[in-house]
Chains A and B, each alone.
Chain A
Amino acid sequence: MALLSRRTDLPFERDDSSRYLPWLTAFMVFLASLTLAGVFALSDLASTWDKGLSETLTVQLPAGEDERTDERRAAAAIKILEAAEGVEEVTLLPPRQVRDLLKPWLGAAADASRLPLPQIIDVEIDRDGIPALATLTEQLRRAVPGAAVDDHGAWMSGFLRALRSAEAIGVLIFLLVGVATAGTIVFTTRAGLGVHREVIEVMHLTGAHDRYIAAQFAVRSMMLGLRGAAMGISSAAMVLIALGVLVEFQGFGVLPGVDLSLGAWIAVVLLLPATGLLAWLTARITVLRSLARMV
C-alpha cells in the first residue's frame, strides 16, 4: 500500500519542526477525549431523565377534613385513573413517604401528624399510549375538587434544554479542539516544507509528482498524530476512571455517577484512528496546496 509506505526520501529525522507535534496532539486529544466523554455523559443523563419522567404522572389530591374523606377521595381518583386508557399502574404513596418527601423543605415539622398533607398518587403510563391529560384532569377535578395532575413537562423541558445546551457547547468545544489540532498540523507541515525545500526541489526535478511527496509528509504526520493520540487517550482514560472512582466514594447527591457507557468509551477510543486520519489528510492537503504554487 504505497500511500502508507514508511520508506521516505525526506530526512524527517533531522526535522525539528515536528518534534513537539506528538505532545501538542496528545494535549488536544486529551481535551477532546474529556469533552467527548462529557457530551456522552450529558446525553445519557438527559435520556435517562427524559425517559424516566415522561413515563410517569403525579396526581396530587388536597388534604381533606378527616381520614375518611381522604380515603374516599383517593379511592375515587384511583378508580378514574385505573379506568383511563394508557395508564399502566397506579400507586398511592403512603403518608409516611409523603412526609419523607417534604422533609427537605419542612424539616421536623413534616413529621407532625396534625399537619394536613396532600395525597400523592404515582401513575405509570404507557409511552405509546399517553392518556389525554386534559380530559383526565377534568375527570379527576370533578371527582375530587382541587385535584392536580403534574406531568413534569414544565420543569423537565427546562432541565432538558439546559442539558442539551451543555451538550451543544461540548460538541462545539470538541470541534474547536479538532480545528486547533488541524491548525497545528498545517503549521508543522508548512515548517517541514521549508526545512526540506532543497530535497523537494531535487525530487521534483527527478520527476516526482506532488502526490508522491505529499504521501511522505502525510504518513509522517499520521504516525506522529497516532503517537500523540495514544498518549492523550491513555491520559484521559486514567482521569475518567479516577473521576468515576472519586464520585463513587464521595457521591454528589442528585447527580448520577460518571460511569461512561460503552458507546462513550468506544467514541473515545475511536479518537485514535480519527486523529491519525485528520493528521494524514491535513498534511496531505497542506503539501498539495503548497506544491501546486511551485513550478
Chain B
Amino acid sequence: MDEIVRFQTVGLRYGMGPEVLQDLSFTLTPGSFHFLTGESGAGKSSLMRLMYLAKKPTRGSVSLFGRDIASLRHDDYPTLRRRIGVVFQEFRLLSHQTAFDNVALPLRVSGMREKEIKKHVEELLTWVGLEENMAAWPETLSGGQQQRVAIARAVIAQPRLLLADEPTGNVDDRIAARLLHLFEELNRLGTTVVIATHNKSLISSSLHPIMHLDGGRLSIEDRESEPAATVETLPRLGRL
C-alpha cells in the first residue's frame, strides 16, 4: 500500500447548507508532511474531520490506508482509527482522568494489558518531558503541558497518520517551534503528518508542502522535495 489518504472529487456539506468542501482530490503518501492552511471557515477542520473519520463525505470517495470508507462496516472504524492520531486544537483531554490515564486511553481501548500500558505511557510522558506530571489532572497543567499530553495521546499507539488541528493555537512561538520539532521527529519515524495551522512563522520555518483551502477548494504548494523518511531512535526532547 503506497497511499495513506486518497480523496477523489470529495464534497462535504452540513445538512442542507452549501458545500464547505468542493471537489477535493489529493493523495498523501507514507512519511509525507503537510501543512494545511486557509482562512477561518475555509474548511480546514472539516477536511481534518473527514480524515479522522468523524464525518463521511457528501460526495466523492475517501480512502484511508487503501480502504474506501464508503465500504466500511461500523465495526471497521475502530481498527482504522487506531492507525490515526489526532491532536485537537482544544486538546479534548478527559478532565476526569490524569495525564497518565489520558495518554493510556488509546492503549486501553485496544485491549493492551495494564503492565504494558504503564511501561509505554511512562516512557512517552518522560519523552515529552512530563515525567513529573503523570498523576496531574489536566486542569492543573499549563497550556503547553496539556498540549504535550494531547500529543502523547495521539502518538502513543504509533499511528501511521498524525493529524493536528491548530496545535499551536494556544501557545507562543517558542513553544510552537518546539512542537513542530516534535512532529518532525515523529515524521522521521515514518508517520504521515498533516498540521492545520494559521501560524505563518511556523509554516515559514520549514519547507514542507502546503495544502491551501480557499472557499472549500484545495490547492497544493510543493515548496521543496520532502526529506526522505528515516527510522531512528527517538531522542529526548527538551521541555516545551
Interface contact A209-B75, CB-CB below 8 Å: yes
Q: How far is the CB of A6 from chain B (nearest CB, A)?
A: 14
Interface contact A205-B52, CB-CB below 8 Å: yes
Main secondary structure on chain A at its contact with chain B? Answer: helix
Stretch from B101-109, B138-146, B168-176 forming part of the interface with A: B101-109
B residues less than 8 Å from A202 (CB atoms):
92, 94, 105
A187 at the interface (CB under 8 A from B): no
A295 to B108, CA, bound (A): 21
A212 to B75, CA, bound (A): 12
Q: How far is the CB of A282 from chain B (nearest CB, A)?
A: 21
Interface contact A199-B94, CB-CB below 8 Å: yes
- Give residues 27-62 of B contacting A (CB, 8 Å): 52-56
Name the CB-closest residue of A to B69: A295
A204 at the interface (CB under 8 A from B): yes
A198 to B54, CA, bound (A): 13
Interface contact A295-B55, CB-CB below 8 Å: yes
> Contacts A295-B53, A295-B56: A205 and B86 contacting too (C-beta < 8 A)?
yes
A residues less than 8 Å from B52 (CB atoms):
205
Q: How far is the CB of B150 from chain A (nearest CB, A)?
A: 10
Categorize the interface residue count of chain A. 20 to 34
Interface contact B86-A203, CB-CB below 8 Å: no
Q: How far is the CB of A117 from chain B (nearest CB, A)?
A: 83
Interface contact B54-A207, CB-CB below 8 Å: no
B96 at the interface (CB under 8 A from A): yes
A295 to B54, CA, bound (A): 6
Q: How far is the CB of A36 from chain B (nearest CB, A)?
A: 40
Interface contact A208-B94, CB-CB below 8 Å: no
A210 at the interface (CB under 8 A from B): yes
Interface contact B106-A207, CB-CB below 8 Å: yes
> Contacts A292-B74, A295-B53, A295-B56: A209 and B109 contacting too (C-beta < 8 A)?
yes
**Contact mask for chain A residues 172-205; partner B; CB cutoff 8 A; 1 contact, 0 none:** 0000000000000000000000000011011111
B residues less than 8 Å from A210 (CB atoms):
74-75
A residues less than 8 Å from B199 (CB atoms):
none
Extra contacts besides A198-B92, A208-B78 (20): CB < 8 Å: A9-B94, A9-B101, A9-B105, A9-B108, A11-B95, A202-B92, A202-B94, A202-B105, A203-B109, A205-B53, A205-B54, A206-B82, A207-B81, A207-B106, A207-B110, A207-B157, A209-B75, A210-B75, A212-B109, A295-B77
Residues of A within 8 A of B (CB): 2, 9, 11, 13-14, 198-199, 201-210, 212, 292, 295
A-B contact pairs, 12 of them (CB 8 A): A9-B94, A9-B109, A11-B95, A204-B77, A206-B81, A206-B109, A207-B78, A207-B81, A210-B74, A292-B74, A295-B55, A295-B56
Residues of B within 8 A of A (CB): 52-56, 74-75, 77-79, 81-82, 86, 92, 94-97, 101, 105-106, 108-111, 153, 157
